[in-house]
Amino acid sequence: MKHPLQFLYCGKSSNILYLLILMNLLYACGLRRQSAAEQPVPQPAGPTFSADSAYRYCQAQCDFGPRVMNSPAHDACGEWIADKFRQFGLDVTLQQTVIPAFDGTRLRVTNIIAAYRPELTDRILLCAHWDSRPWADNDPDSANHRKPVLAANDGASGVAVMLEVARLVRSARPAVGIDFICFDAEDYGFPYWAEGEDPGDTWALGSQYWAAHLHKPGYTARFGILLDMVGGQGAQFYREGMSVQYASAVVDRVWRAAQAVGFGSTFPQQTGGYITDDHISVNTVAHIPCIDIIPYYPDCEQSSFGPTWHTLADDMAHIDQTTLQAVGQTVIQVLFSE
């Protein structure tokens, strides 16, 4: 929900003291409103993120085929993701449940949680969704609308970046605990042919469940970063509106990190759209300030999420290693600047 800017108008006064007080007040407000771009940019920190490695993790997920809920490909890929985190020395928890979808389908949901240094109480949350859209309902060809999406970008890319980060932290050992959560059932939301209107809560079912049933009693993290569609060609990551509303300080931190590692142009300072995504319930139910790194294509007619969103073209041919590098190195900078 947008909030309009409010301005204070003060009429003239012959009282000089009043004017001096007002001038001092306005000056102080100006100092407090110093923009994020004017704040010092930190020095690069942490290991080098390997876009080649992340690309291979993305390809490996796509090799299972579309990871549609309740499918063998979905279950097999989930086991592969959990095993990769275990290979990197992380403690893995599988949060499993059954959630009814908008059409009554009972979805077998598995949230995959991998903890780096679980003994530490100072923690940062990284998350992405790992399921794929059952319907390419935004494809230019309506004949494809009921076909499943391979979801190289809208699903696999976020998990791929997290896996590469997990591989690196095993040896580089940042000073904070990190929880990697792969949310399930994010993309089984209301298609246009369903009866009635989308109530708004048919998406991001796995994160809704996790936020209401934390995998550890009293779990909390200092902040969270959601990675969604972080491998697309030509992607730029504007400051997502709900992230700014709920966690503006985290947005500032991440966008400064992008500047520090040379990807300021990939993370412009402008605000993009207001997105309902997995980070909403993390903020509002789990009460962890969490932002969404998600692309914004202001000039794309197909979708502001980019031309491959919910189409059959969301495949490995449209994954860009430069985009993976920009996001992955930015996340590394955040983690190793703590």
Residue 4 maps to a domain:
no
Structure tokens at 304: 């502001």
| Mean local confidence (pLDDT), 205-234 | 98
For 183-203, write each residue's pLDDT tens digit.
Answer: 999 999 999 999 888 888 999
Task: Indicate if the pLDDT at residue 19 is higher than 50.
Answer: no
Residue 6 maps to a domain:
no
Residue 21 maps to a domain:
no
CATH number of the domain within which 250 lies: 3.40.630.10
Q: What is the pTM of this model?
A: 0.89
Q: What range defines the domain where residue 325 resides?
A: 45-336
Q: In the prediction, which pLDDT does 175 show?
A: 93
297 within 8 A of 303, measured Cβ to Cβ: yes
- Residues 326 and 331: their CA atoms lie apart, in Å, by 9
Q: In the prediction, which pLDDT does 196 show?
A: 87
| Mean local confidence (pLDDT), 294-322 | 97
Those residues whose C-beta lies under 8 Å from the C-beta of residue 9, and which sit 6 or more positions away, are none
Structure tokens at 170: 């095993």
- Residue corresponding to tokens 């794929």: 132
Task: Indicate if the pLDDT at residue 1 is higher than 60.
Answer: no
Say which DSSP state 74 is in: H
Residue 243 maps to a domain:
yes
Residue 33 maps to a domain:
no
> pLDDT: is 195 or 85 the higher one?
85
Q: In the prediction, which pLDDT does 21 show?
A: 35
Q: In the prediction, which pLDDT does 38 show?
A: 60
Residue 16 maps to a domain:
no
| Mean local confidence (pLDDT), 253-278 | 97
* Total structural domains within the chain: 1
For residue 78, CA distances in Å to 4, 12, 109, 189, 206 come to: 43, 67, 10, 20, 14
| Mean local confidence (pLDDT), 152-176 | 97
Those residues whose C-beta lies under 8 Å from the C-beta of residue 187, and which sit 6 or more positions away, are 129, 131, 132, 133, 134, 149, 151, 154, 155, 203
Of 177, 77, 196, the closest CA to residue 129 belongs to 77
Residue 61 maps to a domain:
yes
Structure tokens at 40: 């010092």
| 3-class DSSP string for 299-317 | CCCCCCCCCCCCCCCCCHH
- Residues 177 and 120: their CA atoms lie apart, in Å, by 5
Q: In the prediction, which pLDDT does 18 show?
A: 35
Q: In the prediction, which pLDDT does 200 show?
A: 84
> pLDDT: is 164 or 35 the higher one?
164
Angle between helices 321-336 and 158-172 (to 10 degrees): 40
Of 186, 179, 170, the closest CA to residue 53 belongs to 170
Of 308, 230, 302, 299, the closest CA to residue 270 belongs to 299
292 within 8 A of 275, measured Cβ to Cβ: yes
Q: In the prediction, which pLDDT does 24 show?
A: 45
Residue 220 maps to a domain:
yes
Task: Indicate if the pLDDT at residue 32 is higher than 60.
Answer: no
Q: In the prediction, which pLDDT does 4 show?
A: 27
